[in-house]
Amino acid sequence: MSHAHTPGNGGADHPAAPMVEEITDFEVLEIAVRELAIEHGLFTAEDHRRFTEWAESIGPAAGSRLVAKAWTDPAFKARLLEDAVKACKEIGIDWAEPTGFGTPSDYMNLRVLEDTPTLHHVIVCTLCSCYPRPLLGMSPEWYRTTNYRRRLVRWPRQVLAEFGLILPPEVEVRVEDSNQKCRFMVLPVRPEGTENWTEEQLAEIVTRDCMIGVALPRPGRTADVHPMHKARRPVKGQAHSGEAAHESKK
Amino acid sequence: MSPRNKVARGRFALLEALKNRDKTWNALAPRYGVSNPNPPWKSSLIAMCDCLDAGGALPVLDRRHAEDELADSVYSDIPEPERQLLALAHTMLSRGLITESDLANRMRAVRARLEAV
């Protein structure tokens, strides 16, 4: 598939990303099954387009709002921990019909896992990729890898450290395995330095990874900020980017 | 064997012939220098599963039970998301929602359409 980049559409000098120039049997199978299902009246092409659009457009914003509200409203937090599906309706998420046009493949059993200073939760789906989509959107790629799924339940601290999250020994780590009967989301501890913040400010630091449990919320760390530590020992003479080359000459 | 495990008893020649690891996205993407971790049909597959559940043709729990069983048996050598696609087609064939001959014919027609110049 070719794709022309034009000025004002992401950069005229930016080369088109490579695509797989091959029609596989799997691509053909997906189309064939879908077309037959539509012809047999199992669903319509319009249904399919709308579900695709929904699945590709949802993000973790609803989960962030949920956490921020729980941090600022103790009564809401109590309701959330008691009956998460019911509490979600208060922020406009109806698990029975999150799309507003039908029931997607998610479940009506959601549990919110409250972290404390001595207890940290992290979620996984050891079987496949079960995930609280109405709140967090599509799961990240790494969430679906066997690396994460298999190792997190065995060596959670080791895996969390690979995400840069090193928890002290006195903090208990609890892994919850999502499945077709229950979905989970982590309610992290509200970090220090956020006193008097509004819900909107708080929601900004509750990123997707914080609600999975592989990161902790921190003032200044939002989803659209990409901090990068300078290499402590850059390889001399082999830098590729301009900045790295500059650093190596210092 | 519980009733929900019936799905893995059968094999479909059409789907067996597609079990080629060399053509899965994990194998193809690096060959073409493509960084997208998912094939372009992945979101369509997810939406199809959602549609089948929403319309009542294939409830999500039934699909997932079958998927789990097939992933451990018939399609254990195939990675995701191809495995999910094969399992869905297998389940729909098992339930008579589509037939193997219809699917074979349609695959030929789809390929001809995609390769038309």
Q: What is the mean pLDDT of chain B?
A: 88
Question: Under an 8 A CB cutoff, do B103 and A26 touch?
Answer: no
CA nearest to B108 within chain A: A28
For residue A52, give the nearest of B43, B55, B114 by CB distance. B43
pTM comes to: 0.68
Q: Which residues of A are designated catalytic?
A: 125, 128-130
- Residue B1 burial (CB < 10 Å; 0-12/13-18/19+)? exposed
For chain A, the domains span 25-56, 59-212
Chains A, B: CB contacts within 8 A come to 150
**Residues β-bridged to residue A135:** none
For the cut 50, the answer to whether the pLDDT of residue A10 exceeds it is no
* Chain A nearest C-alpha distance from B68 (Å): 8
**pLDDT tens profile A182-203:** 899 999 999 999 999 999 999 9
What per-residue confidence (pLDDT) applies to B67? 86
Q: What is the pLDDT of residue A42?
A: 96
Average pLDDT score over chain A:
84
Q: What distance in Å separates residue B97's CA from the closest CA in chain A? A: 8
Taking the Cβ of residue A51 and every Cβ of chain B, the question of whether any pair is shorter than 8 Å is answered with: yes
First to last CA, chain B: 50
Phi, psi of A116 (to 5 degrees): -130, 175
Q: Which residues of A touch B75 (CB under 8 A)?
A: none
Least confident of A109-118, A128-137, A239-248, B82-91: A239-248
Q: pLDDT tens, A131-186?
A: 898 899 888 878 877 789 889 999 999 999 999 999 999 999 999 998 767 899 99
- Interchain proximity A47–B44, CB inside 8 Å: no
CB count in 10 Å sphere of residue A96: 10
Q: How confident is the model at residue A244 (pLDDT cuts 50, 70, 90)?
A: very low
Evaluated on CA atoms A171, A172, A175, A176, the torsion sign reads negative
Query: Among A111-125, B5-19, B47-61, which range has the highest average pLDDT?
Result: A111-125
Mean pLDDT calculated for residue range B92-114: 96
Report chain A residues whose CB lies below 8 A from the CB of B18.
Answer: 25-26, 29
CB–CB of B89 and A33 under 8 A? yes
Residues A36, B102: C-beta atoms closer than 8 Å: yes
CA dihedral (A124, A128, A130, A133) positive or negative: positive
What digits encode the pLDDT tens for the residues A28-49? 999 999 999 999 999 999 999 9
The answer to whether the Cβ–Cβ distance between A20 and B34 falls below 8 Å is: yes
Token match 């699945």: residue? A55
Q: So what's the ipTM on this one?
A: 0.95
How much is the pLDDT for B37? 75
Whether A103 has a pLDDT exceeding 70, the answer reads no
Is residue A32 within 8 angstroms of chain B, CB to CB? yes
The whole-angstrom distance between B95's CA and the closest CA on chain A is: 13
Looking at 3.40.50.880, 3.20.20.370, 3.90.330.10, 3.90.320.10, the CATH number of the domain A59-212 comes to 3.90.330.10
* Contact: A29, B18; criterion CB under 8 Å: yes
pLDDT value at A81 more than 90:
yes
Is residue A249 over pLDDT 50? no
**What is the token pair recorded at B37?**
């971790």
Q: Using the predicted structure, report yes or no on whether residue A115 has a pLDDT greater than 50.
A: yes
Segment A224-248 shows an average pLDDT of 62
Q: What confidence tens digit (pLDDT) does each residue in B52-84 have?
A: 988 899 988 788 888 888 988 899 999 889 999
Q: At what angle do helices A61-72 and A74-82 cross, to 10 degrees?
A: 120
